[in-house]
């Protein structure tokens, strides 16, 4: 998906007409679940929630339940938040979670134990081509090894997982190779590098800027909206590798108007706010190479060991991506900005794992806000602005402007890495 940058230019879709129609079909208004759950007095009936509201509820319950909280995920079929609880002497925690509207599931592994297991993996098995993230649906750590992890490296990883104890972690082999999705070629350009713009934002001083992947930001300082063209934006801050993969890039022209929208080709989808991801949540990804793709969130706070170094705090998904999609937007059908494409394995033919930088973390780190500086509630913390109450109706907004988006054809910084 691209983001709009003004002045507008006529743009051809980076993806074919069939994909454009697919985007419209995915994102046009759908029958959304009711926000009205059972009343407080109605016993333990889980509320029917949209994914954005489930994420908010999960954050509140994590603080409320304390050590009894063992993760949560979104059940898309039933449109409910499922909260894992470690059974103990105090059954009140289950009552609290049910009263708040969650479906409660008792599990064996506490979040403290799972986090300790992840620390052991970090200290004993930080091997290029590996990743790990807590999967609340299995109540285990999902460890993934790409095709380069063989021989002694595989034996080391396997023995480390076994040392965590039975039922604590599982290993999955990936056919591909973990890499950042950068590419030499067309799209937001700098020298031989190409990336995709993630989301237009407002920097802390009120100037227009955009977010993209940090490995794009460290690859080059200035970026153009056309191959061999004059730079239009300059990197202000970037993080990669380390605690994230994100960069803030400021438009060189302070008069640039850069609304937080994603261009679907035949329509634009306004982004209402930044939001935390929830395991099980349906998400969409836009990039300059492969256009629109969709899938599910598989894990949070993922650690990925790229050849360039270890990156922590990412979102793991099964959404496909390819070189050139780096930095592109991940979002929900109702206009919540969730992530920036980092890297992974596989492609959009064979599939694979893909990792995303959480938008909320990136905004907080660089001191930017999503959308116009004066827009209340759209910011680094993903504060509530009523976006969670939106239906998919926002997807139809701006459809007439889609042909004028400068990003999707590589002429604008909206979907190129």
* Catalytic, out of 72, 207, 238, 326: 326
User: For every one of its 417 residues, what pLDDT tens digit does the chain have, with 9 covering 90 and above?
Assistant: 444 444 333 233 333 333 433 444 445 444 334 334 444 444 468 999 988 889 889 989 998 888 899 999 999 999 999 999 998 766 788 888 899 999 999 999 999 999 999 999 999 999 999 999 999 999 999 999 999 999 999 999 999 999 999 999 999 999 889 988 754 333 677 877 889 889 999 999 999 999 999 999 999 999 987 777 889 899 999 999 999 999 999 999 999 888 898 877 778 899 999 999 999 999 999 988 888 999 999 999 999 999 999 999 999 999 999 988 999 999 999 999 999 999 999 899 988 899 999 999 999 999 999 965 433 333 333 333 333 333 333 333 332 333 233 333 333 333 333
pLDDT at 165: 95
CA dist 35 and 101 (Å) reads 11
DSSP per residue, 387-404: GGG--GGGGGTTGGGGGG
Contacts of 155 (CB under 8 A, 6+ apart): none
326 catalytic per annotation: yes
Measured between alpha carbons, how far is residue 241 from residues 103, 339, 345 in Å? 37, 17, 17
Q: Residue 360 belongs to what H/E stretch?
A: helix 359-366
CA dist 411 and 415 (Å) reads 10
245 catalytic per annotation: yes
Nearest to 311 by CA among 243, 216, 247: 243
CA dist 294 and 316 (Å) reads 13
CA dist 72 and 74 (Å) reads 7
pLDDT at 343: 95
pLDDT at 273: 93
Measured between alpha carbons, how far is residue 414 from residues 13, 27, 62, 240, 403 in Å? 12, 18, 35, 20, 14
Nearest to 122 by CA among 71, 179, 172, 169: 169
Neighbours of 249 (CB within 10 A): 30
pLDDT at 182: 57
* Catalytic, out of 207, 215, 225, 294: 215
* Catalytic, out of 135, 225, 245, 334: 245
Q: Residue 300 belongs to what H/E stretch?
A: strand 291-306
CA dist 322 and 14 (Å) reads 14
Tell me if 342 sits within 8 A of 173, measured CB to CB.
Answer: no
């Amino acid at each position: 998906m691209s983001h709009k940058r003004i002045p507008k230019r006529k743009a051809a879709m980076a993806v074919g007409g069939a994909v454009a129609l697919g985007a419209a079909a995915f994102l046009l208004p759908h029958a959304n679940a009711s926000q009205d759950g059972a009343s407080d007095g109605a016993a333990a009936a889980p509320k029917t929630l949209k994914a954005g509201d489930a994420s908010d509820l999960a954050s509140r319950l994590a603080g409320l339940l304390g050590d009894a909280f063992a993760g949560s995920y979104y059940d898309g079929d039933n449109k409910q938040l499922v909260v894992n609880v470690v059974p103990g002497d105090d059954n009140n925690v289950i009552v609290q979670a049910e009263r708040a509207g969650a479906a409660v599931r008792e599990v064996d592994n506490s979040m403290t134990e799972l986090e300790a297991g992840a620390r052991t993996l970090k200290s004993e098995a930080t091997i290029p081509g590996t990743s790990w993230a807590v999967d609340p649906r299995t109540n285990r750590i999902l460890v993934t090894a790409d095709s380069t992890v063989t021989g002694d490296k595989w034996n080391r990883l396997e023995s480390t997982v076994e040392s965590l104890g039975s039922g604590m972690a599982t290993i999955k082999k990936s056919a591909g190779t973990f890499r950042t999705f950068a590419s030499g070629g067309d799209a937001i350009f700098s020298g031989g590098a190409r990336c995709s713009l993630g989301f237009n934002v407002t920097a802390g001083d009120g100037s227009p800027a955009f977010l993209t992947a940090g490995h794009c930001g460290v690859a080059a300082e200035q970026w153009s909206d056309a191959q061999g063209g004059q730079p239009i934006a300059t990197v202000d801050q970037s993080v990669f590798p380390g605690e994230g993969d994100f960069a803030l890039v400021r438009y060189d022209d302070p008069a640039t108007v850069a609304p937080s929208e994603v261009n679907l080709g035949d329509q634009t989808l306004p982004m209402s706010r930044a939001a935390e991801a929830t395991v099980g949540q349906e998400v969409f990804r836009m990039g300059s190479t492969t256009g629109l793709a969709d899938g599910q969130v598989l894990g949070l706070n993922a650690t990925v060991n790229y050849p360039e170094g270890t990156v922590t705090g990412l979102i793991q998904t099964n959404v496909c991506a390819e070189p050139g999609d780096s930095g592109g937007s991940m979002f929900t059908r109702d206009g919540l900005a969730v992530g920036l494409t980092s890297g992974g394995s596989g492609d959009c033919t064979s599939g694979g794992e893909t990792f995303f930088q959480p938008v909320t973390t990136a905004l907080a780190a660089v001191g930017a806000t999503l959308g116009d500086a004066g827009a209340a509630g759209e910011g680094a913390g993903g504060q509530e602005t009523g976006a969670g109450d939106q239906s998919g109706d926002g997807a139809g907004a701006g459809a007439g402007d889609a042909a004028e988006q400068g990003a999707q054809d590589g002429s604008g910084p909206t979907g190129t890495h």
